Chain A
Amino acid sequence: MNRRKIIEEWIFKTISFLAAYSVVLILLYLLIVVFNKGIGALSWEIVFSLPKGGYYFGGGGGILNAIVGSFYLSLGATVLAVFIGLPAALFINVQLIRLKRTQNTIRFFLDALWGIPSIVYGAFGFAVMLFFGLNASLLAGIITVALLITPILVRAFDEVLKTIPVELQEASYSLGSTRTETALKVLFKQGFAGFITALLLAFGRGIGDAASVLFTAGFTDNIPVTLDEPVATLPLSIFFQLSSPIEAVRQRAYAAAVVLTVIILIISVSARLLSKRYSKNIIK
């Protein structure tokens, strides 16, 4: 190898190394800061009890309402998004297989929707909520978060389906399958591991978003029992606590951030493990 090529190789290797490790370092730094600030304030009481009167002014209790509320909201939104997203992705990849231009147009719109800031979804959800005469509630929050994560989910499912070799579809058709049978019995199974990952990532996106639920989900110190009750979420809980002038309350915001981060990390690790588990049958 001549000198020029050696230098080229070295520069490229160094840039790749720095880019890859800077991502890891930023994540580690973020985790260190959050854990460092939050771990001191974290207690069983914070995680497992409801806020008592004046919690956001330094009163006792915890953020169980926000933890459970976030789960309710994200779970509901993810289920709703899956019911819309999975058939949509299968439709794009199976029924529209011959219509490349239509496929690309739909993908363009989904990508555009993906790029819209979540506050816009929040405002849209709020407008819809007013139109239907709904109050800020778990249901309104679920619908808004579902709107936010559906494009993400459809595109993620779509990308999974795009990786499935067309020959596998042909194999299924040649055995006498219809398009629907191919979609449900072959493509769904082949893409299952990827779907799980996409699903958990969308769930993670839903649980961590504050702006979309700011106007729609409301906030309460209680755990909602019905869909028309307001619901507290972890991101909003963190926001309210961080806005407090009281230092102890701000510390508890970091404790809540630790809880949210741990939930997101658990979701990410679960996504990887489940994806690995369900990929044993698939063709690579």
Chain B
Amino acid sequence: MKQMTFTYQPTLSAESVTMQNEIAMAEEIKDTSIISIKNLNVKTRDGAILKNINLEIPKNKIVVLLGPSGCGKTTLLKSLNRLTDLHKELKVSGQIIIDGQDIMKAGQNLSAMRQRMGLLSQRPFPLPASIYKNVAYGLKLKGIRSKKLIAHSVETNLKRVGLWNEVKDRLKSPATSLSIGQQQRLCLARGLAVKPTIILADEPTSALDPISTKIIENLFKELKQHYTIIMVTHVLRQALRLADHVVFMYYGEIIEQGHPDEILKNPKTTILKKYLIDGN
């Protein structure tokens, strides 16, 4: 993470010093971790899925969770918006602090908390409705009733994911009439419409062809300016292309983490070395 220093500059006016300080502070906030996971454990009757996870997730970065199947990447991702609550067999303990608030505490407004995190699953799951209604769904849940505002948001978010030109003439068509790649972008637009700050992506390109994969990857690169993206992937090259920070997991534990160039090119642990050799 970037270390910020504040130095006195006598040649500058008081106003410009204030402005510089504000920029510096803004930079500092931007670099501060948005999610802080402390001692997170997820267990089932058969054993632990996540073991004492401690992780800081920086703001406006792409954090890639890497590791073999069954190592707990998806469980970690779903713990972040408490979708683990849907499974009684999962016993979750620990702290997940998002913007200073522990979301694991009882009495949380789960709807509002989840709206802050867009979710993109392995396969796109558009809602059983038209393209337009898919994007408008979250807005209506937020209580937005103005048709003009909804229409504007639908257009804006479909444009953001590069889908507008492809669907503008058939917004009333079923979302399922789109190709898988288009559906995945629609799901992203649907998530963005509710103005999240974090995007959770669980192998979002695993069902897509190379062209659609590239579109999603490019989108993620653009979106990270405004969002924190936490992505699960098995594809090492994808991690190298996208990640600002890689977290390697194995059997429910974080084994190594750091910049992709550091940990994927010069792994320190034998487990990661072996995984990279097998993966390649």
Contact stretch, chosen from A21-29, A54-62, A167-175: A167-175
**A26-57 toward B: CB 8 Å interface, digit per residue (1/0)?**
00000000000000000000000000000000
Task: Verify A173–B114 contact, CB threshold 8 A.
Answer: yes
Residues of A within 8 A of B119 (CB): 170-171, 174
Given known pairs A176-B112, A177-B111, A283-B176, the reply for A170 and B86 (CB within 8 Å) is yes
Bound: A281/B110 CA distance, A: 28
- Taking a contact as CB atoms closer than 8 A, the residue among A99, A176, A178 that contacts B138 in the complex is A176
Beyond A170-B83, A175-B138, A176-B115, 18 additional contacts (C-beta under 8 Å) are: A97-B86, A170-B78, A170-B86, A173-B86, A173-B114, A174-B119, A174-B200, A175-B114, A175-B115, A175-B137, A175-B141, A181-B141, A189-B128, A190-B128, A192-B128, A280-B176, A283-B125, A283-B128
Bound: A185/B141 CA distance, A: 11
Judged by a CB distance under 8 angstroms, whether A165 is at the interface is yes
Task: Verify B194–A281 contact, CB threshold 8 A.
Answer: no
Bound: A174/B201 CA distance, A: 12
Which of A167, A173, A175, A186 counts the most B-chain CB atoms under 10 A from its CB?
Answer: A175
Q: A-contacting residues of B (Cβ < 8 Å)?
A: 78, 81, 83, 85-89, 110-112, 114-115, 117-119, 121-123, 125-130, 137-138, 141-142, 174-176, 187, 190-191, 194, 200
Bound: A166/B117 CA distance, A: 18
DSSP class of A's interface residues: helix, strand, loop or mixed? Answer: helix
Q: B-contacting residues of A (Cβ < 8 Å)?
A: 97-100, 165-178, 181, 185-186, 189-190, 192, 280-284
Residues of B within 8 A of A176 (CB): 111-112, 114-115, 138, 141-142, 194
* Cβ distance B21 to chain A, nearest Cβ, rounded Å: 36
Task: Verify B123–A167 contact, CB threshold 8 A.
Answer: yes
- Taking a contact as CB atoms closer than 8 A, the residue among A99, A165, A174 that contacts B88 in the complex is A99
Task: Verify B111–A178 contact, CB threshold 8 A.
Answer: yes
Given known pairs A190-B128, A280-B176, A283-B128, the reply for A175 and B194 (CB within 8 Å) is yes
Closest to A193 in B: B128
Residues of A within 8 A of B81 (CB): 173-174
Bound: A99/B89 CA distance, A: 9
Residues of B within 8 A of A165 (CB): 125
